[in-house]
Amino acid sequence: MDKQDRQQRIALVPTMGNLHQGHLELVKIAKQHADIVVVSIFVNPTQFGVGEDFDSYPRTLDEDVAKLATVGADYVFAPSVDAMYPVLPPPTTVLAGAISSQLCGQSRPGHFDGVGIVVSKLFNIVQPDVAIFGQKDYQQLAIIKQLVRDLSYSIEIIGAPIIRADDGLALSSRNQYLTESERQVAPILHRELQDLAKQLKGGGISQQAFESLLKDKRTRISDAGFTIDYLEVKTEALGSVVSDSTTFNIENKNIVILVAAWLGRARLLDNQLVVVG
């Protein structure tokens, strides 16, 4: 049936399973925007690189379905790898472009191309009117919005706020990789982002002072036991805050602080939006 002929709106919440409260909040948001909520559960091989945790990524389908029932998800779509990819690697793919080469894409080449192809497939199969993605994966959300625009999908993309534990740690399926002692350290990441946001919020900062702040934060995070992948400040659209080799200006701008860091086996992501000025 053509979407225009449907009487009910369909929302899609794409996940890789091993669901936590953050995922359940996405479902609750989806229910506010649609009559029918479909949750996909699929550990997508094309977004994992060599040596990453595809084989060990937790697969907990029965528990996930039970959790989804408590928040009123209508359908669970849990396809096999063979059903999604008759041929691997797929001969036809989606290239995420320049936006994907920075931040997570720099250390995970090809990751966002894999995200692009699986999300395109899910959109084509489910035919949603709206799709919900978490803002914790800020770069991914930006790439999905770009994909919808460039491939002319008539789908509304909603970015859902980051859901945090009481101590500030962003909820993630990979948090279970943390040991007990690492779990005590992990909230430092968010606290350092909050502190940096506070220092940038007022504006009136030189490029030299800005770079010094970033250097100090990287040192503090590293000294706490993290191995930093990146800690960067970008415009809201993930552009540079340095407009050319001599001009630095974050006044009256929406900026985002983004971090990815390893703590033991867990790669933790977080970000903080800041309105400057």
17 is in an annotated binding site: yes
21 is in an annotated binding site: yes
172 is in an annotated binding site: yes
174 is in an annotated binding site: yes
CB 151 within 8 A of CB 178: no
23 is catalytic: yes
202 is in an annotated binding site: no
33 is in an annotated binding site: no
Q: What is d(CA 277, CA 275) in angstroms, rounded to the nearest whole number? A: 7
Q: Which one of the listed residues 23, 33, 111, 190 is annotated catalytic?
A: 23
163 is in an annotated binding site: yes
23 is in an annotated binding site: yes
173 is in an annotated binding site: yes
Per-residue HEC secondary structure of the chain comes to CCHHHCCCCEEEEEECCCCCHHHHHHHHHHHHHCCEEEEEECCCHHHCCCCCCCCCCCCCHHHHHHHHHHCCCCEEECCCHHHHCCCCCCCCCCCCCHHHCCCHHHHCCCHHHHHHHHHHHHHHHHCCCEEEEECCCHHHHHHHHHHHHHCCCCCEEEEECCCECCCCCECCHHHHHCCHHHHHHCCHHHHHHHHHHHHHHCCCCCHHHHHHHHHHHHHHHHHCCCEEEEEEEEECCCCCCECCCCCECCCCCEEEEEEEEEECCEEEEEEEEEECC
171 is in an annotated binding site: yes
22 is in an annotated binding site: yes
47 is in an annotated binding site: yes
20 is in an annotated binding site: yes
User: Which residues sit in the known binding site?
Assistant: 16-23, 47, 134-137, 140, 163, 171-174
Catalytic site positions: 23
User: Which residues sit in the known binding site for ATP?
Assistant: 16-23, 134-137, 163, 171-174
User: Which residues sit in the known binding site for beta-alanine?
Assistant: 47
User: Which residues sit in the known binding site for (R)-pantoate?
Assistant: 47, 140
